[in-house]
């Protein structure tokens, strides 16, 4: 349910905590470079602004990971802001400010006037969930506060990907409002009605096969997530070109997406599909063709205020200068990956030596291209960085070799304590790192193990850990968690030391 101040947005229950790699500065940088656009954000002293920050965990991680940056995060839910400020105080993070503000009017406020220009503005999970006055407020804020050359990341539920699910959302919301009180219970009641209708072979629900496939998955999602996804009064999925047109009023140029593999037409489309795509030069028409071939339900679009295009040589030079680090062990790297166009095989003769070299620690793309033993037909830094990071097996490192400071270690211990828990087992997790310049992604089992390492208790009995993390679960699930903990104990601490999330 929304309150008077919520303008249709769910306000009776707080949103889930989360850190998303698509919002992290180094991922945005790589996306920008892959799209052939200059990255004008300074390495030090940048201003990062998050709109609709929810519980603020992403903003805390970015602030701790970039001690010379200023981070401003705002949300209109007082519960979110109070919780985020409490965590910032507890972790001693001094370079983050959480503002309780309504995006519909914030751009005209004295608090906005006092803010310095932003280098990066990110809004994850806000645009398609709010009404027109809030969207227009976001545009005015971007117009007045994102500096020339600055980067904006805007995620939203997209069309045509959501087309088939529109009926599901309408049913969940309308039935939920009539059947229950609080938003999470409304979403659960609405979903239950959808299940009943599908069981009764309602033609509208049978017409899209994805609905029947999605319903069992929905049962695994948190009640809070479902409430914020389905119960908002103004939720409406958007066409990419319409978002681009709204943001053009803030002089933003569409650049690409921070879901990296989507920036490679050869991975996103088959040959015949690409032939149609290549009939057009207009990037928005190209996106429409891409969406027709591979509809996505959530887009992470990237904009630059005054995008400066690079030559192919400039782009390759910038990509060669990036540092990459593995997020797994070399033996677990998958070289066959699922992409929209089918299965892609990363050339073994080249990538096996590259991955071996990455096993020794962060390395520069320029050096990885000449990893000992790597056989390649052509030097392609975009493919190397895009595939390794886009498949989530590596990340870009901002400050190779930088050690974690006391603030990072305090925050990481807090993250492990708050989120290394049973209720968060199926969620992606993160720890801060100055070397990474953002969150280092990990599983909940890895976060738990890292937390024990930070507490100086890495040698505790694994049975005790399983009891702590999986005690309330079914025996078969307990076994899975025990295996994940054993695997994490074997390699996570060493990897996180190399990545700067734990002290060496």
Q: What angle in degrees, to the nearest 10, is found between the helix axes of 406-419 and 57-65?
A: 160
SS3 content of the chain, % helix, strand, coil (to 5): 50, 15, 35
Closer Cβ to ligand SAM, 129 or 351, answer by number: 129
Q: How far is the CB of 150 from ligand SAM (least distance, A)?
A: 19
Give dist(CA 37, CA 30) in Å, integer.
10
Give dist(CA 121, CA 132) in Å, integer.
19
Q: Per-residue x/- marks for ligand SAM, 217-236, CB under 6 A?
A: -----------x--------
Q: Which among 96-104, 251-259, 370-378, 459-467 is the span making contact with ligand SAM, rule CB under 6 A?
A: 96-104
Q: Tell me if residue 438 falls in helix, strand or coil.
A: strand
Return the H-helix or E-strand segment holding 187.
helix 183-199
Q: Per-residue x/- marks for ligand SAM, 24-63, CB under 6 A?
A: ----------------------------xxx---------
Is 158 in contact with 239 (CB distance < 8 Å)?
yes
Q: What is the DSSP letter of 207?
A: T
Does 130 sit near ligand SAM (CB under 6 A)? yes
Q: How far is the CB of 23 from ligand SAM (least distance, A)?
A: 8
Q: How far is the CB of 229 from ligand SAM (least distance, A)?
A: 7
Task: Tell me how far apart the terminal alpha carbons of the chain are, to the nearest angstrom.
Answer: 48
Q: Tell me if residue 135 falls in helix, strand or coil.
A: helix
Closer Cβ to ligand SAM, 125 or 164, answer by number: 125
Does 80 sit near ligand SAM (CB under 6 A)? yes
Does 134 sit near ligand SAM (CB under 6 A)? yes
Does 129 sit near ligand SAM (CB under 6 A)? yes
Closer Cβ to ligand SAM, 55 or 393, answer by number: 55
Closer Cβ to ligand SAM, 6 or 160, answer by number: 6
Does 77 sit near ligand SAM (CB under 6 A)? yes
Q: Tell me if residue 48 falls in helix, strand or coil.
A: strand
Give dist(CA 14, CA 7) in Å, integer.
16
Does 103 sit near ligand SAM (CB under 6 A)? yes
Q: Which among 31-39, 118-126, 144-152, 467-475 is the span making contact with ligand SAM, rule CB under 6 A?
A: 118-126
Cα distances (Å, whole numbers) of residue 390 to 34, 268, 327, 404, 497: 11, 12, 12, 25, 23
Choosing from 49, 115, 121, 126, the residue that interacts with ligand SAM (CB under 6 A) is 126
Choosing from 21, 124, 145, 399, the residue that interacts with ligand SAM (CB under 6 A) is 124
Tokens of 272: 């015949």
Does 145 sit near ligand SAM (CB under 6 A)? no
| Positive or negative: CA dihedral 489, 493, 495, 499 | positive
Q: How far is the CB of 482 from ligand SAM (least distance, A)?
A: 30
Q: How far is the CB of 155 from ligand SAM (least distance, A)?
A: 8
Is 107 in contact with 121 (CB distance < 8 Å)?
no
For every residue of 302-371, DSSP letters joined together read: EEEET--BPPHHHHHHHHHT-EEEESS-GGG--SEEEETTEEEE--HHHHHHHHHHHTTS-EEHHHHTT-
Q: Which among 37-45, 72-80, 88-96, 190-198 is the span making contact with ligand SAM, rule CB under 6 A?
A: 72-80
Closer Cβ to ligand SAM, 168 or 319, answer by number: 168
Is 283 in contact with 10 (CB distance < 8 Å)?
no
Does 15 sit near ligand SAM (CB under 6 A)? yes
Closer Cβ to ligand SAM, 15 or 254, answer by number: 15
Q: Which among 31-39, 120-128, 347-355, 378-386 is the span making contact with ligand SAM, rule CB under 6 A?
A: 120-128
Cα distances (Å, whole numbers) of residue 475 to 283, 444, 479, 489, 493: 51, 18, 6, 21, 27
Does 75 sit near ligand SAM (CB under 6 A)? yes
Q: Per-residue x/- marks for ligand SAM, 157-176, CB under 6 A?
A: --------------------
Q: Which among 29-37, 100-108, 341-349, 416-424 is the span making contact with ligand SAM, rule CB under 6 A?
A: 100-108
Residues that bind ligand SAM (CB under 6 A): 7, 9, 15, 18, 52-54, 75-77, 80, 102-104, 124-126, 129-130, 134, 228
């Amino acid at each position: 349910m929304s309150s008077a101040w919520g303008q249709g947005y769910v306000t009776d229950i707080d949103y889930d905590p989360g850190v998303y790699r698509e919002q992290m500065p180094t991922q945005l940088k790589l996306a920008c470079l892959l799209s052939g656009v200059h990255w004008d954000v300074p390495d030090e002293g940048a201003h990062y602004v998050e709109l609709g920050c929810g519980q603020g965990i992403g903003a805390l991680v970015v602030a701790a990971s970039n001690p010379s940056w200023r981070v401003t995060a705002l949300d209109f839910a007082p519960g979110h802001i109070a919780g985020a400020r409490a965590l910032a105080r507890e972790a001693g993070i001094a370079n983050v400010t959480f503002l309780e503000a309504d995006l519909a009017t914030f751009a005209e406020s004295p608090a906005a006037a006092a803010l310095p220009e932003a280098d990066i503005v990110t809004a994850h999970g806000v645009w398609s969930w709010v009404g027109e006055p809030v969207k227009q407020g976001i545009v005015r804020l971007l117009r007045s506060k994102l500096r020339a050359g600055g980067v904006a990341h805007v995620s939203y539920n997209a069309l045509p990907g959501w087309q088939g699910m529109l009926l599901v959302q309408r049913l969940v919301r309308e039935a939920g409002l009539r059947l229950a009180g609080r938003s999470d219970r409304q979403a659960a009641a609405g979903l239950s009605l959808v299940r009943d209708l599908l069981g009764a072979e309602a033609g509208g629900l049978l017409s899209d096969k994805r609905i029947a496939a999605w319903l069992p998955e929905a049962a695994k999602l948190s009640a809070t997530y479902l409430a914020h996804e389905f119960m908002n009064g103004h939720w409406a999925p958007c066409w990419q070109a319409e978002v681009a047109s709204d943001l053009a009023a803030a002089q933003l140029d569409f650049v690409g997406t921070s879901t990296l593999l989507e920036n490679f037409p050869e991975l996103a489309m088959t040959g015949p599909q690409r032939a149609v795509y290549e009939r057009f030069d207009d990037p928005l028409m190209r996106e429409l063709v891409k969406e027709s071939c591979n509809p996505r339900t959530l887009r992470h679009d990237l904009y630059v205020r005054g995008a400066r295009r690079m030559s192919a040589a400039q782009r390759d030079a910038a990509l060669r200068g990036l540092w990459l680090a593995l997020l797994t062990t070399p033996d677990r790297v998958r070289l066959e990956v699922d992409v929209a166009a089918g299965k892609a095989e990363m050339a073994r003769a080249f990538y096996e030596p590259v991955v071996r070299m990455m096993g020794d620690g962060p390395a520069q793309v320029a050096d990885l291209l000449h990893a000992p033993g790597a056989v390649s037909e052509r030097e392609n830094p975009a493919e190397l960085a895009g595939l390794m990071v886009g498949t989530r097996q590596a990340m870009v490192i901002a400050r190779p070799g930088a050690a974690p400071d006391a603030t990072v270690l305090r925050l990481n211990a807090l993250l492990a304590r708050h989120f290394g828990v049973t209720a968060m087992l199926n969620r992606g997790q993160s720890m801060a790192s100055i070397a990474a310049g953002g969150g280092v992604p990990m599983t909940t089992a890895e976060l738990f193990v890292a937390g024990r390492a930070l507490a100086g208790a890495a040698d505790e009995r694994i049975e005790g850990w399983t009891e702590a993390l999986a005690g309330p679960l079914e025996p078969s699930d307990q076994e899975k968690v025990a295996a994940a903990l054993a695997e994490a104990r074997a390699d996570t601490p060493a990897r996180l030391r190399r990545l700067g999330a734990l002290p060496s």
